[in-house]
Structure 1
Amino acid sequence: MHAPSAKHLTDAQRLSWLRLIRSENVGPRTFRNLLNYHGGAAAALDALPDLARRGGALISPKICSVSDAEREIAGIEKLGGRLIALGEPEYPSALAAADGAPPILSVIGNLECLSRPMVAIVGARNASAAGRSFAARIARELGDAGFTISSGLARGIDASAHEASLSTGTVAALAGGLDRIYPPENVPLLARIVENSGAGLTEMPLGWEPRAQDFPRRNRIIAGLAMGVVIVEAALRSGSLITARLAAELGREVMAAPGSPLDPRCEGSNKLLRDGATLIASSEHVIEALSGMLGRNLPPAALPVLAEPEHDMPPPVPNGEVRARVEELLGPSPAAVDDLIRMSGAPARLVHLILLELELAGRLDRHAGGRVSLIDRL
């Protein structure tokens, strides 16, 4: 089955998409479910208050206004950036294939570098001179071999990888808005990336100051952009190991450079090797590890509809009995959605709709592996 050909959103659709993803309790998976049920973002926006009420919300979720969305678009354009929607030709194809891909990306810089195969290089912020030198050499050589290098603009290994691949193309995934760069000391580095055929991108709104919980979200984008992730010097508790785990969950190649067993900065990367990551000591090792993936398109996730068709009939409304059966099966411990469907005996479409309503009401958490749990509101 062939994927639908990529097309651009109209200005009206782009505005509705931005309003929907910026509305309260709407994340990437919720966004996709809303479009699947309502055929388009405009219809989904109209349905949000009723869906949240049916899910048990006492107050309707805050919906992003037209003026706020228009202000964000104008602010991004003033910075020289633009919004790219999932399903549009410029959207990075590897990221589009990732579960939970952001519906909207704010991008500044050269879009062409997003179309080439990417390798992510991440590691310790307090990296050693040897680690930084190794990351730079790998990044430079992979760039010369035709890869775009992606990383997180952090101090240490990330910055070294970006610096070394400026001339060949590098992408910085950001944890805050395009105008809220972290760390501030790397603002000049991002400017050089953009000036030298690279790009910066984020799923976060303009003006968003990055918080601690936003960095794992950024790491998910780094992993999703790349065919494989190279870890250089990572401690046992580090964002780099989160990136490696997310990459493995997406079916991407996880690679690590061996480090001294006496250096705590290498404990995490050495553990990855013990757990089965590919050992790399040169750019040739990286290319060899990725050889089976080169030229092979990743299967795209089910993309939201860009044409915004209208349904002949509104989505079904679950009756009280079905809703009670599903909610009774939910609790604070994550449960597989497939189990909820099987045990409730309800049609899958209705179960998914009930979960969507609960999520919009702020009562449901989604977890990795298609699992969900109720949020204790006491």
Structure 2
Amino acid sequence: MKYQARKKAILLLADGTIFYGKAVGREGSAFGEVCFNTGTTGYQEIFTDPSYYGQLMVATNAHIGNYGTNDEEVESDSIKIAGLIVKNFSYDYSRVKADRSLQDFLEQNNLLAISDVDTRALVSYIRDNGAMNAVISTEVDKIDELKQQLAEVPDMNGLELASQVSTKEPYFFGNPDATYKISALDLGIKRNILRNLSQRDAYIKIFPYNASFAEMSEWGPDGYFLSNGPGDPEPLEDAINTAKEILDRDLPLFGICLGHQVIALANGISTYKMHNGHRGINHPVKNLLTGKGEITSQNHGFAINREEAEKNANVEITHVHLNDNTVAGIRMKNKNCFSVQYHPEASPGPNDSIYLFDEFIGNIKKTKVTA
């Protein structure tokens, strides 16, 4: 199959712009918001990151698939992107640790992908015009029909997606005999977050996205965690209320990405949809508490309002993104709580910010000592 003539395919943007390519594997159509990731490696972790649910991923790296896939390099139980757009797709791969080709991995997950797209021109267009809904399709002779279907796809702004990727029932991760117990709200949690907490002598109970504080506190946790995830944070009223109850009791709380935004909303700080968002593994962040720079892994299309954060007497901005000065981290002055907009667990990406997990455990330890 890999050497047969491939069907023509298109990427149709919501504004009517068309980019041409070829189908990688299966035929059909896939809809979602088009976005791009600038990482040169880590495509398997990116594709399985629940934060990307509902999005058509453009890979800016010119070669995708050249090192195959590995069963251990996943961040959830399946591919979460809605579709894949690349320049050069590698059907053959070369890596000792690879289990299979990326083509096989995509086919097992029934994902539509197209290649031979001018991704440099596409990314440049998205940068100028902003993220928007799109469709990738092999039905190149049905443009008008695709436009009609695309017009019915809901906008990401105001869209609640955490419920689509969250666990349906609570489950445990780690060593039951660990020193610390943590309740985690699953808004689309990545496995490497759980690994990092477990490696720090924590036993984690993971709850559905709409779990109440009463449910999360029933088993007597020492701390609380709000995870990353997809979509707009503002519709997550249950999560926001849960965060408020945790804060009211001044219990140790840590949030990443969507969890960071939920904590901001719980403090009356609004969020907004960004023009493009931040997606990649080389985003520069400055830690305002230490003055040090960090290279970070990021994946988000929403951010918190900086002006409102600066005016909030109980909130301190701890990290800023050096490319656009957006808020990359906050902590509460009067509560045992902090959060960041990026991914300290990486996977993929650098480990410059791994210390944040140590800080969270340190906050829990202080609370246990004084309790």
- Same fold by TM (over 0.5)? no
TM-score, normalisation: structure 2: 0.25
Higher percent of residues as helix: 1
Higher percent of residues as strand: 2
With a CA cutoff of 8 Å and minimum separation of 6, indicate the structure with the bigger relative contact order: 1
TM-score, normalisation: structure 1: 0.25
